């Protein structure tokens, strides 16, 4: 891990530099849509309205889809909808092929609160990992989603 709370709280500048170095060193291994997202001007820039930092969870949907003669070929997709931190748009993350996920949350009395930090990294097998930390006055959760790629869409609220 490069720039989740434990790393960023200890060394914000160094952890960010380590993460950007990691991304650049692994650029060719990243799935195309994921690379486009992490290389964008907005994903890691909290001043950009399209950045998920401090966004609020609207909903998460987990779909098990199928194909084949008897629908025997099964796969999972996840979609997350966030209300942007500036409350002027929504951010949708869609993971079309999910290999593994862990959604751990505690103390959800006030909801998930803010999307605090998140990072993309790769497994040894080349799968994309998206790790997300949620936080309010205290940590409220950590999600780990292992996928083929990610699609992200910003929609302004009119």
Residue-level pLDDT at 137: 76
- The predicted model scores a pTM of 0.90
Residue 4 lies in a domain: no
Q: Tell me the percentage of the chain whose pLDDT exceeds 70.
A: 91
In a domain, 17, yes or no: no
Give a yes or no: residue 58 inside a domain: yes
The mean per-residue pLDDT over the stretch 116-135 comes to 94
Query: Dihedral (C-alpha) 152, 17, 132, 141: value to the nearest 10 degrees?
Result: -160
Find the DSSP H helices in the chain. 5-10, 12-25, 32-38
Q: Does residue 3 lie within any of the structural domains?
A: no
Beta-bridged to residue 133, according to DSSP, are 142
Between 20 and 31, name the one with better pLDDT: 31
| Percent of the chain whose pLDDT exceeds 90 | 72
- Asked if residue 35 belongs to a domain, the reply is yes
Say which residues have a Cβ less than 8 Å from residue 99's Cβ, sequence separation at least 6.
127, 146, 147, 148
Percent helix, strand, coil in the chain, to 5, is 20, 45, 35
**Structural domain range at position 103:** 22-156
pLDDT tens digits for 32-76?
999 999 999 999 899 999 999 999 999 999 999 998 999 899 999
Report the number of distinct structural domains present in the chain: 1
Cβ neighbours of residue 7 closer than 8 Å, sequence gap 6 or more? 1, 15, 18
- Tell me if 85 is assigned to some domain: yes
């Amino acid at each position: 891990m490069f720039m989740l709370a434990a790393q960023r709280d200890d060394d914000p500048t160094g952890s960010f530099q380590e993460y950007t170095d990691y991304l650049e060193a692994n650029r060719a291994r990243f799935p195309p849509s994921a690379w486009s997202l992490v290389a964008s001007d907005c994903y890691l820039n909290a001043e950009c309205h399209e950045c998920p930092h401090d966004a609020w969870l609207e909903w998460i949907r987990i779909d098990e889809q199928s194909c084949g003669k008897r629908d025997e070929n099964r796969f999972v997709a996840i979609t997350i909808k966030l209300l942007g931190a500036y409350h002027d748009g929504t951010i949708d993350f869609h993971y079309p092929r999910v290999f593994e996920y862990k959604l751990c949350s505690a103390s959800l009395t006030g909801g998930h609160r803010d999307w605090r930090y998140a990072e993309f990294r790769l497994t040894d097998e080349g799968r994309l990992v998206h790790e997300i930390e949620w936080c309010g006055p205290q940590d409220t959760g950590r999600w780990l989603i292992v996928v083929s790629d990610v699609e992200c869409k910003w929609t302004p609220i009119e």
